[in-house]
Structure 1
Amino acid sequence: MRFVYLSRQANRSGYLILEHLLTETRYAPDCVILPPYRGRVEYLRHAAPSDAADAATTSATGKCDSTGSIDELARKHAVPVHHVANLNAGEGFALLRSYSPELIVLGGGWPQMLKPRVISCPPLGVINTHPSLLPEFRGTDVHRWQVLHGVDESGSSIHYVDESFDTGAIVGQVRFCVDDSDPPQVLARRAAISAGPLMAHALALIDEAKPRRAATEKQPPPAGAPYFSRWKWEDLDFLRLSWDKPAEEIRRFVLACTQESYRYNGPYFHFREKRFMVRRAIAGPPATAMPCEIGRVVKITDRGPLVTCGEGAIILTEVQPASDRFWPEAFHTAPTLDGAEFCSAFRVAAGSRFE
């Protein structure tokens, strides 16, 4: 079966899918098409946290998981590689047609929305991998949105691409459980690892069914189901902590903002006219009511300050002083302090008020 493989250069899922196909299956693409690439160091310098996560992520053990170059992987296996800025028209579309693909495989996304002429070019259609159990959590940065919403199950989906986002018929899915302490990086890594075998299974189904498309059942999004946008790293209103929310909701928000490098913006509050970002937090005592107003420090625990919330309380276990200017104008370079160090360094005591 002739197919063309599309991906983004520093994408973990795209790399692992292609690696699995080239080393574990008989399905090798006729070519790999990537967008223009400025180089790994320059990419990481300008990338937002979610993009940087694709190139280098920190695991739960603190070990860095590096994604190799898709370009190098393809060339190692003698697969031609092309860098294309616009696949929808001009030389990019002409290149695509020159391969006469039966199928287009999207592994790890593509920076453009594909136009109908591209989608209809291969007779067997276009398939894409998505890191959620579609039709739930369509969109971008869905690992973070899933953590924020407290899902207990996630997975990967392979679906046909149509003229909307993540709404095409589903070819296959794989599921895994999510712990309430899992940061988005854990979901992303598990989805990426599972995507290779899942893609191989989908290709086998499509290959067996040709010249017709593989039998699927259209699964439209539930009525009113949202499309999740990119995580709002530059929106300071979005990132500012609201202590009137339940403690568990605040904990999930902090967890959803977990980063590989604490150079970027994160959930923040004000104390004595200075901004601080909460990098890690844990649930406080199970009591539903605290004896003081929201945002007030009840006491200093051995893990950090216990802060009253709209429902319950939360312990701030890692806090970072923010730079005067927020990203993307500047990175945050101050060291992250554990909760006890933060209280000592900035004279936080029982009764202190965070805003």
Structure 2
Amino acid sequence: MRVVFMGTSSFAVRVLTELVGDGELEILGVVTRPDRRAGRGLRPVSPPVCCEAKRLGLPVWQPERVNRPDFVEFLRSLRCDVIVVAAYGQILKKDLLSLPPLGCINVHASLLPQYRGPDPIRWALLNGEEVTGVTIMLMDEGVDTGPILAQKSLPVLPKDTYASLTEKLGTLGGKLLREVLPAWKEGRITPCPQEGEPSYAPVVEKEKARINWESPAWYIVRQVRAFFPSPGAYTFFAGKRLKILEAFWEENNGTPCPPGTIHRIEKEKGIVVCAGEGLVVIRRLQPEGRRVMSSWEFVCGYRLSVGQRMGEEVR
């Protein structure tokens, strides 16, 4: 089966890696987003899929607009059987969707119709979902509205982060796709319309990564997990940004204190901070302009003490 792959993110990398391992598939090349300038030096940075495709020795195409007529004609010339899409980032229009004989098949990181849109993994973590999964879908002109070819669920573990769940779901999606493609080609799958009330997962604004210490501790820990490793849930301490990279929460059965106040400092456990409800125990963090460190390293280096406050930005 001749396959063109479209994807951009780390999720798509895992799907692509699984497909490349299937000897029955011929990956003709990879379509991904153009390089973008980023960082202090504003140097061009390639999407994760671009880097992986080049490592695998696959041709890479990076059109600014994938639906541009000349690029659609180029894809037509490849005579692919199917186009596989995973977290690509552009909506495909009718001319492109109707191009391959077996259609365009999307690997989506949720159990559709839950979390239609570009950021399903982050929203699942922020909303405290205990189960998520992947959907293999035949694409139509809507946003994640096409009929379902297959689904598979996955438990969300208490320690799962955006990074770990992206890797798990990408691998799961790639493995499921390897089962679906030959069955779809042979006519052994009947597409099923999506059923149930849809929910949506727009791109999460970066401002949602800022910790409000008046929130419940359990929600703050969800933020830490949902924004790890990038951009990182953050607060302010002594007027500088402080990323919280690992944390858990516990009930506050002791003396209540104002949200954001350091309640206890324990060498083995971490920095314990009061929230609007409960306590947040910080295990790993990264001060602005510094390396990632354990909470105890931060305590020793910055001379933290009980009663100091987090969250106050000095302008």
TM range (shorter): 0.7 to 0.9
Deviation track 1:221-262 (CA, whole Å, cap 9, x = no partner) reads: 615x22x223434x3xx2321111110110111121211xxx
Match in the other structure for 2:158: 180
1:94 & 1:255 partners in 2: Cα distance?
Answer: 43
Between the two proteins, what is the percent identity of the paired residues? 27
Partner residue, 2:285? 319
If each structure's strand is expressed as a fraction of its own residues, which one has the higher value? 2
1:300 paired with 2:304, answer no
Q: Which residue of 1 aligns with 2:224?
A: 254
C-alpha distance 12-102 of structure 1, shift in aligned 2 (>3 A):
closer
d(CA) in 2 for partners of 1:36, 1:268: 28
Cα 1:315–1:72 shift into 2, 3 Å: closer
Tell me the residue number matched to 2:203.
230
Letter in 2 for 1:125: G
TM-score (norm 1): 0.75
Aligned residues: CA RMSD: 3.1
Call closer, same or farther: CA 1:278–1:82 in 2, change over 3 Å.
closer
CA contact (8 A) 1:9 1:34 kept: no
What TM-score does the superposition give when structure 2 sets the normalisation length? 0.83
In the other structure, the counterpart of 2:83 is 104
Aligned-partner residue type, residue 217 of structure 1: C
Native 8 Å contact 2:236 2:242 kept in 1:
yes
1:154 shift after superposition: 2.3
State the 1:119 CA deviation. 1.1
Selected match of 2:73 from 90, 94, 104: 94
Q: CA deviation at 1:320?
A: 2.1
Does residue 1:5 correspond to 2:5, yes or no?
A: yes
Contact 1:282 1:314 in 2 (8 A): yes
Task: Report 1:1-355 matches (<5 A).
Answer: 3-8=3-8, 11-21=12-22, 23=23, 26-29=24-27, 31-35=28-32, 54=48, 69-71=52-54, 73=56, 75=58, 81=59, 83-85=61-63, 86-106=65-85, 108-209=86-187, 214-219=189-194, 222-223=197-198, 225-226=199-200, 228-233=201-206, 235=207, 238-259=208-229, 265-284=231-250, 286-287=251-252, 290-302=255-267, 303-322=269-288, 333-355=289-311
Q: Displacement of 1:9 after TM fit?
A: 8.9
Q: Work out the number of aligned pairs and report it.
A: 305
3-state SS of 1:293 partner: coil
Q: 1:166 to 1:242 in 2, by over 3 A?
A: same
Change (3 A) 1:311 1:231: same
For 2:6, the aligned partner's letter is: L
For 1:114-173, what per-residue CA distance to the aligned partner results, in whole angstroms no more than 9, with x for missing partners? 111111223432111112222222222332222222222222211011112211111012
Per the TM alignment, residue 198 of structure 1 is displaced from its structure 2 partner at its CA by 1.2
Query: How far apart are 1:38 and its partner, in Å?
Result: 5.4
- Give the partner amino acid of 2:299: C
The alpha-carbon deviation at position 109 of structure 1 amounts to 3.4
- Gaps of at least 5 residues in structure 1 are 56-66, 76-80, 323-332
Q: Is the 8 A contact 2:4 2:84 kept in 1?
A: yes
- Alpha-carbon offset, residue 287 of structure 1: 3.4
Query: What amino acid does structure 2 have at the position aligned with 1:34?
Result: V
User: In structure 2, how many angstroms separate the alpha carbons of the residues matched to 1:258 and 1:46?
Assistant: 23
Does the 8 Å CA contact 2:16/2:174 hold for their aligned counterparts? no
Note closer, same or farther for the CA distance 1:155–1:46 as it changes in structure 2 (3 Å cut): farther
Q: Which amino acid aligns with 1:159?
A: M
Q: Matched residues in 1 for 2:45 and 2:62: separation?
A: 20
Query: Deviation string for 1:99-125 (max 9, x for gaps)?
Result: 44443222x333421111111223432
Displacement of 1:96? 2.0
1:64 matched residue in structure 2:
none
TM-superposition CA deviations, 1:167-224 (whole Å, max 9, x none): 11110122222211111222111122222331122212221229xxx4121105615x
